[in-house]
Structures are given as structure tokens and as C-alpha cells.
Structure 1
Amino acid sequence: MQQLTPHLMFQDGRAEEALKFYVELFGGETILLLNYGEEAGELAGKVQIATIDIAGQQINMMDSSAVHEFDFTPSMSLFFRCESEEQLDHLYNGLMDGGNAMMPKSDYGFGPYAWLADRYGVSWQLSYNPNA
């Protein structure tokens, strides 16, 4: 049982869109998807809780039932160790579609690396170290 699970809270109702995007891009799977029922009013059909698996790591996701004065921040990121530079390129190109590079893909002295925020505002670090 995984004891520590990243939890992504979406305020714009796009959690299900994001989880499908991540599962397809990373080749993961959806483990759990529960949607709010009709009694939730405007949230009906949105994600109450979902769990996806990417490379053996479970990530929880939800659409927030309350409006908050905060959103995703780059100070917290998901770090992904790629198995090849081709995988890094694939993930970088997919996540950059509507995203923003904070550190564009380059070799910063420790192998190909990139740090970006995707179209949902989630921060990702992608790294490939051929010597690791």
C-alpha cells in the first residue's frame, strides 16, 4: 500500500480532462473515478475523487467543491525520471501543449532536463540521466 500520495485539486472543473490526458500521455491507468451526483448541483458529473497510476505511482485528483484563493504552484512539482531521451521528448512535447516552460528542455550539466507547467498549471520536472 502506497502511504504517500500526491493529491491534485482542480478549481476549474477539469480534473477528469486532466486525468485522461495524463493516463494517455504517460501510458498509465485510471484506478478509481467517482463523480459528484445530481445532489451536488453545479458540481454534478465532476470528479469527487479519482486515482490514477503513472509508472507505479498513484496520484489522487479532484474537482474542488469550494472556491479557494490558491491554485497550483511551481514550488511543488511532480518529478519524472525518464527511461530515454525519446521518452523525455514525448512527455515534454505533450505537457508543453498549452503549457509553459520554466526551464526549457536542455542539458543543464546533468543530462536532458526540463521543468514546466502543463495546461492545467501542474508543475512537472522531466529528467533523463543516461549514467544513472
Structure 2
Amino acid sequence: MKTTVTPFLMFEGKAEEAMTLYVSAIPDSKVVDIKRYGPEGPGAEGSIVVARFVLAGQPVFCIDSHVKHAFTFTPANSLFVTCASEEELDRIAAVLADGGQWLMPIGNYGFSRKFGWFNDRYGVSWQVNWE
């Protein structure tokens, strides 16, 4: 087995909903597998122990934590999406930013022709870029 680095997203009950949204928005993405809690817990039955999915070739893990934590997602860590076209950027941003909060609205900031940064409705931070 080789050493790998994989983003890992911890949700509190919204992992499957978020994963489904991400896979629907990003081209060449899919859910690989899901392991769920059963009636014995310790998480809510049907919630995600661990799931693997792929976003445009990048493997990602996610879970539903049954433990409440004093922290959540922060923009200090984000998923950076380099888009194939301006139209793709607009579509991805429209889907993922819906119900979230813009940190940098889509625009030309001098380092790329079109860039935007937002937190989605689950608190995960995304940067979208078209060079």
C-alpha cells in the first residue's frame, strides 16, 4: 500500500446530503461506498460511519459524527476547484453556494480571470477558479 493524503469531512448528521450535492455538482464525481450505523449505534441508525466519494478524480472521506464538538468547518481549509470553463464555474458555484455564504463573490481579482470563494450550506469552504 502506498502513502496517500485524502480530504476528510466531518458532519453532524448531514454527510450523505452534502456528499450527494457535491457529487451532483462536480463533473466526473461519484459515491464509492457508504458504511452506515445500524440499530446498535453508537450513531443514529442509517447515519454514516464513513463514506468514500470522488470529486473530479480526488478521493474524499466523510462521516456523521455522533459526538458533538466545539468546532466545525472553517474557511482556513477549503476545496479548490479549477473549472474547465467559465460556464462550469458559474454552474458549480450556483449549486454549491446556494444557502451558503460568499466570502469573495465571483469576480476578477487579478490572479485569475474568474474566481469566487464561499462556504456552502454545511459550512464547507470552496474556492472556484477559471484561469
Q: TM-score, normalised by structure 2?
A: 0.93
1:51 corresponds to: 52
Match of 2:24 in 1: 24
Aligned residue for 2:67? 66
Shift, 1:113, TM fit = 0.2
C-alpha distance in 2 between matches for 1:42 and 1:57: 27
Query: Residue 111 of structure 1 corresponds to which residue in structure 2?
Result: 113
CA pair 42-3 structure 1, distance change in 2 beyond 3 A: closer
Question: Following the alignment from structure 2 to structure 1, what is the Cα–Cα distance between the partners of residues 92 and 11?
Answer: 21
Name the structure where helix makes up a greater proportion of residues: 1
Matches of 1:22 and 1:41 in 2, distance apart? 26
CA distance in 1, matches of 2:91, 2:9: 23
Runs of 5+ unmatched residues, structure 1: none
Runs of 4+ in 1 over 4 A off after TM superposition: none
Displacement, 1:42? 5.3
Distance in 2 of aligned mates of 1:81 and 1:65 = 33
The number of residue pairs the alignment matches comes to 128
Residues 95-106 of structure 1 aligned to structure 2 (within 5 Å): 95-106=96-107
TM-superposed deviation, 1:83: 0.7
Counterpart CA distance in 2 for 1:10 and 1:24 is 18
RMSD of aligned residue pairs (Cα, Å): 1.3
Post-superposition shift, 1:65? 2.0
- Normalised by the length of structure 1, the TM-score is 0.93
Gaps spanning 5+ residues in structure 2: where?
none
Instruction: Give the Cα–Cα distance (whole angstroms) in 2 for the partners of residues 4 and 42 of structure 1.
Output: 26
2:122 match: 120
* Percentage of identical aligned residues: 41
